[in-house]
Structure 1
Amino acid sequence: MQVETIRDVLNWTISFHRNLKDCLLHCSKQNKDERSQMILRYLAEHEGSLERMVKGFENIAEEKALNTWCYDYIDKHPIVEHGHCDSPFKEMDMSHIMEKIVNHHEQVLELYNHLYSRVDINSAKELLETIQNVEENEIKRMVQTANRFSDM
């Protein structure tokens, strides 16, 4: 996927959440631990929700914001495609699963944070800030829910 504009970043983010959702579901069927299976299924549902939210932003955002160029960042920090699942979660326990999920999302947040600091167009800044806030809040929700799972 060639990433040059904020629209491309949103499309990449949608694909990121979709691929992570699919991978989590795939691994939930392979993990032997019941709690890990539960958290993997929960996280997969959550990733599906994030996928739909970001897609919604793409549908309502101003064209000017979506067409803002951001290739200078991408040239220096290539975005990694997450197209396949090599079952990274199939043998992890809940804490390691959450650590890996949070790390993945922190990388996405770094991207949005950097892009926010580089764009000059107000509508693009607002869009990036809104998506970044949604991503941050959803990570917090996922971690809180995982903590509840571990208390069971």
Structure 2
Amino acid sequence: MQVETLRDVLHWTSDFHQHLTACLKHCADSNKSERAKMLLKYLSEHEEKLAHVIHEFETKGDEHALNTWCYEYLNKNPIVQHHHCDAPFSQLSTTEIMRVIIDQHNQVIELYRYLHDRADIPSAQELLEMLKSFEEHEMMLMVQSANRSEDM
């Protein structure tokens, strides 16, 4: 997908979360660890919700912000996406799964941070700040839930 505008970034991010959902679901039943199965199911449901929320930003966001050009970042800093679908999550421990999820989300957060720092339009800055804060908050929730499940 060619990413040129902020709308494209949101579409890409929604697809990113949707693809991660499918990957996590696909591997959930194959993992030998019950904790890992539960974690993968939880994460797939959470990623599905994230995809939906990002899609809502894309469809209901400010048109001026959504039409802001922002193609240079992904050309210079491609996000390594879902390399663990080739070496499935089904073969990873809960700690390894969370390490991959955190890394994936940190790359998206860094994308939003970079675009925010370069945005000239206040509505684009505001949207990117909301998206960055949203992703950070959701990643924190996933990590806390994963940590609680490890305590059981």
- State the TM-score, normalizing by the size of structure 1: 0.94
Q: Distance in 2 between matches of 1:37 and 1:120?
A: 44
Segments of 5+ residues of structure 1 without an aligned counterpart are: none
* Cross-structure match for 1:16: 16
Offset of residue 120 of structure 1: 0.3
Offset of residue 88 of structure 1: 2.6
Q: How many residues align?
A: 152
Q: Percent identity?
A: 53
In the TM superposition, what are the counterparts of 1:38-77 in structure 2 within 5 Å?
38-77=38-77
* Cross-structure match for 1:148: 148
The alignment's C-alpha RMSD in Å is 1.6
Q: Distance in 2 between matches of 1:92 and 1:77?
A: 26
Can you list the C-alpha shifts for 1:35-90, whole angstroms capped at 9, x where unaligned? 00000000000000100110111122111100000012233223456599325311
Can you list the C-alpha shifts for 1:95-118, whole angstroms capped at 9, x where unaligned? 111111001000000101000001
Can you list the C-alpha shifts for 1:5-59, whole angstroms capped at 9, x where unaligned? 0000000000000000000001101101100000000000000010011011112
Q: Distance in 1 between matches of 2:30 and 2:82?
A: 19
Whichever residue aligns with residue 40 of structure 1, its letter is L
Segments of 5+ residues of structure 2 without an aligned counterpart are: none
